Amino acid sequence: MAEGERLDVRKTYKLYIGGKFPRTESGRSYLVSDAKGKPWANACRGSRKDVRDAVQAARKAAPGWSGATAYNRGQVLYRVAEMLEGRREQFVDEVARAEGVTRRVAAETVDKAVDRWVWYAGWADKLTQVFGSANPVAGPYFNFSVPEPTGVVGVVAPAASSLLGLVSRLAPVIVSGNTCVVVASETRPLPAITLAEVLATSDLPGGVVNLLTGFAAELVGPLASHLDVNALDLGGLDLALYREAELAAAENVKRVVPPVKLSARDWLSDAKGQDPYWIAAFLEIKTVWHPIGV
């Protein structure tokens, strides 16, 4: 090496579990390259034990997050949007390099990710009115249908859109009070990990979102078969792995959302990239009977 030159010290990105950034218990990592194939950084190669730790953290955070008021959850999601906006240029650089798009397209993608957090934040105090109801009954009592969060949700991030696709699947899961374990894009994990840094410095309680990096073939199976996971969003999963995950999820009758076939450009579309029924996919409807006082 010539005098004055220096070695490129690549950063090793960590996992995000329980509001902290631990290394994988396995000690493994893998090389992440940019869209041009140039080595970029190292990311932790998560293990089955990391999945268990993440699920445990999500379950621990569930009572507090589901018990927060809808107004408070909306404020928290809006704060995430504010923090993401504040680091806009960093995200533009990372999305452009990870996905091999121009800075103009990357900027459009990041701006849309901010807007999507705001859009779902607005649903926090409206979803009960939209998905719940007061039911007419013949008798001296009221009958209400009230939506409640499902619990712990496993989310497989879309590979086609490493930031916006993830935000589009993550926000509707947590806005209603669910907690989650996210498996980041295997080949483009860095925008997701940087998003975890935003979540860690926002008002989102630790454990509400837990993010794992590594190989989907090693992580999705343990996540799908974990008996303390209530539902799965397999929107970003390769079809070859979907059947295996679906069978594993059947053991304790998890709710499963199948892969979503959207391109990177589709996620930019409000018509395709956001939907209130993606919130409803992870709601349980509780029916309450209440006597009428005399």
The enclosing domain of 282 has a CATH number of 3.40.605.10
Report d(CA 273, CA 52) in Å as an integer. 30
Residue 275 lies in a domain: yes
SS3 90: helix
Name every residue whose Cβ is closer than 8 Å to that of residue 65 and which is 6 or more positions away in sequence: 73, 174, 177, 178, 179, 205, 208
How much is the pLDDT for 1? 53
- The DSSP code for 20 is B
Length of the chain: 294
**Residue 294 in tokens:** 């005399």
Could you give the number of structural domains in the chain? Answer: 1
Residue 133 lies in a domain: yes
Residue 192 lies in a domain: yes
How much is the pLDDT for 140? 84
Cβ 257 vs Cβ 121: under 8 Å: no
The bridge status of strand 179-183 relative to strand 133-135 is: unpaired
How much is the pLDDT for 264? 84
Residue 1 lies in a domain: no
Taking 50 as the pLDDT cut, the residues of the chain under it are none
Angle of helix 48-67 relative to helix 216-225, nearest 10 degrees? 50
How much is the pLDDT for 2? 60
Residue 30 lies in a domain: no
Report d(CA 1, CA 70) in Å as an integer. 58
Residue 28 lies in a domain: no
Residue 33 lies in a domain: no
How much is the pLDDT for 265? 87
Which CA distances in Å does 183 have to 53, 123, 162, 197?
Answer: 13, 25, 11, 16
Residue 13 lies in a domain: no
Quote the mean pLDDT of the chain: 93
Report d(CA 108, CA 93) in Å as an integer. 12
- pTM given for the model: 0.93
How much is the pLDDT for 3? 65
What domain range includes position 278? 46-291
